[in-house]
């Protein structure tokens, strides 16, 4: 077993073998997205320098940008004191959000308890993902 594999095994994954990963912009620290990793996706993230995740909804392993081309270049990976959450600093190439926004966190709660869209779309998801 490699040192990297030992390190990955030392994290605290949930019952499904997943650990939350908060991806932030390496320069601004803006939260781009939150996804889940299993041991294999974490190892591939470290090995390739691009983020890989496990989709809970699709029950599928995936690399960020495999459909859109909007990849994340990993600059640093952190874990918290309990080793049950990751923070990944990355350079976002294109948009992080599958809805076309730079960040998945493009809505802000206003004083009327409504969600305001506070960002501009970078792309049309129907065009990028060729939805039918």
pLDDT digit string, tens, across residues 82-103? 999 999 999 999 999 999 999 9
Share of the chain above pLDDT 70, in %: 98
Q: Which residue has the tokens 């095994």?
A: 9
Query: Is residue 114, in this structure, part of any structural domain at all?
Result: yes
Domain count, the chain: 1
pLDDT digits (tens, 9 = 90+) for 35-60: 999 999 999 999 999 999 999 999 99
The predicted pLDDT at position 30 comes to 98
Query: Is residue 131, in this structure, part of any structural domain at all?
Result: no
Query: Is residue 132, in this structure, part of any structural domain at all?
Result: no
Nearest Cα neighbor of 61 from 83, 44, 78 is 44
CATH number at residue 74: 3.10.20.810
Q: Which domain holds residue 89?
A: 3-126
Query: Is residue 34, in this structure, part of any structural domain at all?
Result: yes
Q: Are 8 and 1 in contact (CB under 8 A)?
A: no
Cα–chain center distance at 37: 9
């Amino acid at each position: 077993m490699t040192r990297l594999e030992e390190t990955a095994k030392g994290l605290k994954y949930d019952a499904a073998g997943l650990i939350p990963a908060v991806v932030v912009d390496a320069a601004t620290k803006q939260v781009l997205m939150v996804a889940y990793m299993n041991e294999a996706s974490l190892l591939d993230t470290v090995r390739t320098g691009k983020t890989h995740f496990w989709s809970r909804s699709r029950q599928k392993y995936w690399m960020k940008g495999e459909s859109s081309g909007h990849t994340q270049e990993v600059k640093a990976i952190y874990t918290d004191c309990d080793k049950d959450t990751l923070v990944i600093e990355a350079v976002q190439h294109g948009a992080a959000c599958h809805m076309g926004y730079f960040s998945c966190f493009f809505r802000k709660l206003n004083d009327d308890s409504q969600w305001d869209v506070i960002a501009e779309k970078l792309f049309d998801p129907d065009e990028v993902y060729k939805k039918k």
